[in-house]
Amino acid sequence: MNRREFVRSLAVSGAPALAGGALAHPSEPTGNRGNGADASESARRIRRATDAAMAMQRRDWEQGILAQAMLEAAERDRLIQLTKAAMVLQMPDGRMGVVGSGSPTDPAMGGPAYSKAAEWTGDRAMQKAVEDMLEWILHKAPRNAHGILYHTFHAQEMWSDGLNGAPPFLAAMGFYDEALKQIDGYRERLWNAEKKLFAHTWDDARQHLKDPAFWGGGNGWAAAGLTRVVRSLPAERRHDRERLSEFIHEIVDGCLAYQRRDGLFHNVVDRPETFVETNLAQMMAYAVYTCIAEGWLPMTYRAKADGMRAAARTKMDSFGFVQGACSAPDFDRPGTSTEAQAFCILMETAGSRFE
C-alpha cells in the first residue's frame, strides 16, 4: 500500500499499552540544548522526541516536517544537519530528500526550514538546493489546467495533506498569491462546509471525491499548514491573514466537535468505529497554541489545547516515541511515525510559550 493512500483501516483497536505520561530515563542534553537539570517538562519531552525522531528512517515529507520542528524548537544544528541530509537525496528535478519516486509536493514541507538553514550558513550549495526545489514547485510540478498542484505522480489527485506542503513553502519564499491560490484550489475540492472538515482525496480526472473520509491527520495537516501560511503573510496582507485565520478557526471547531472525552480523536474523526489516534491532538494543539499566541484565536481555546496536549503526553513511551499515532509506513493502524514525533516537538514548543 502506498503511503497514506487509504481508505484508512477501520480497525477498532486502540493504542498499545504504554509507559504512561512520565518520562523515564531522560537523555543528557546534546547540541544546542539546555541543561537537563533545569529543563521544563516541555524541554525534556522535546529532547526525547527529537532523539527518537532522529533514529527513525524518513521519507521526503517526514524529513521536511521534522526540519520544521527543529526550526521552531530553535535546534539550529539539527536543522542544518537535516538540510544537508536532504541535499544528498535531491532529485535532478529539484525535489529534496526524496526516497524512491516520492511525491510532487511532499518535499516542500521542509522548504521554509531548509531555506532558513541556507540563510544561517550562507552555504551557496544549500541555497541553490532550495532555489531548485522552489523552481520545481513553481514551474515543473504536475498540476491541473487551473494551476492547482497534484499530490501524486501516478494519478491526478489532491490530498488534504498537501495544504502543509507547497503553500507554506510558497508563502515563506514570498509567493503569497500562489500560496493562496493553492489553498483556495484545495478548499474548493476537499472542504465540507457543513462538517467544517476536509475530505482526504479528490480525483481530478473523474471530478469526484476519491476518499471522502474526514481523516484526522489530513485535517491536522491542513490546520498546521494554514497556520504556517498566515504567519508568513506580511502585515499589509491583512485581509488574507484574517480570511485564513477564520478558516483555521473553522477547521479547529470542526475537529473539536468530534473530540473524545479523553482529549484524543478517532482516526476518521466522525467515525467512532475507527481507532483512537494520537497525532491529530498534537497537530491541533500546535495550531491552537500558535493561533492564540498570534492573536488569531481567542484565549478561550487555551483549555482545549491544554487538554489535547495532556492527552497526547500520556502516549509518549520511555524511549521518546509517541505511540498510538496513525502509523508509518502505511498509515492504517495505531503506532509510531516521524510526523508524530515532529508534531510532539511543535506542540511542546508552541505550548511552552504559555508556561
**Which H or E run includes 286?**
helix 279-294
| Residue 313 belongs to a domain | yes
Task: Give me the pLDDT at residue 34, please.
Answer: 43
From 235, 220, 234, select the one nearest 279 (Cα to Cα): 220
Task: Give me the pLDDT at residue 30, please.
Answer: 37
Domain, as residue range, for 348: 40-354
Q: Could you say which DSSP state residue 243 is in?
A: H
How many angstroms separate the CA atoms of 329 and 135, rounded? 29
What CA–CA distances, in Å, run from 205 to 136, 144, 156, 209, 216? 22, 9, 6, 11, 25
| Residue 148 belongs to a domain | yes
| Residue 19 belongs to a domain | no
**Total domain count, the chain:** 1
Quick check: 241 and 192 in contact, CB under 8 A? Answer: no
Phi-psi region of 263 (alpha: psi -120 to 50; beta: other; left: phi over 0): left
| Residue 318 belongs to a domain | yes
Task: Give me the pLDDT at residue 10, please.
Answer: 36
How many angstroms separate the CA atoms of 23 and 199, rounded? 36
Phi-psi region of 41 (alpha: psi -120 to 50; beta: other; left: phi over 0): alpha
Opening angle at CA 186, ends 207 and 83, nearest 5 = 125
Q: How many CA atoms lie within 13 A of 256 on its CB side?
A: 18
pLDDT per residue, tens digit, the chain (355 aa), is 444 444 333 333 333 333 333 333 333 333 344 444 345 999 999 999 999 999 999 999 999 999 999 999 999 999 999 999 999 999 999 999 999 999 999 999 999 999 999 999 999 999 999 999 999 999 999 999 999 999 999 999 999 999 999 999 999 999 999 999 999 999 999 999 999 999 999 999 999 999 999 999 999 999 999 999 999 999 999 999 999 999 999 999 999 999 999 999 999 999 999 999 999 999 999 999 999 999 999 999 999 999 999 999 999 999 999 999 999 999 999 999 999 999 999 999 999 999 8
Backbone φ and ψ of 325, nearest 5°: -80, 160
| Residue 116 belongs to a domain | yes
Opening angle at CA 317, ends 279 and 307, nearest 5 = 45
Task: Give me the pLDDT at residue 39, please.
Answer: 53
From 58, 34, 37, 66, select the one nearest 47 (Cα to Cα): 34
Q: What is the CATH number of the domain that holds 344?
A: 1.50.10.10
Cβ partners under 8 Å of residue 295, min gap 6: none
| Residue 183 belongs to a domain | yes
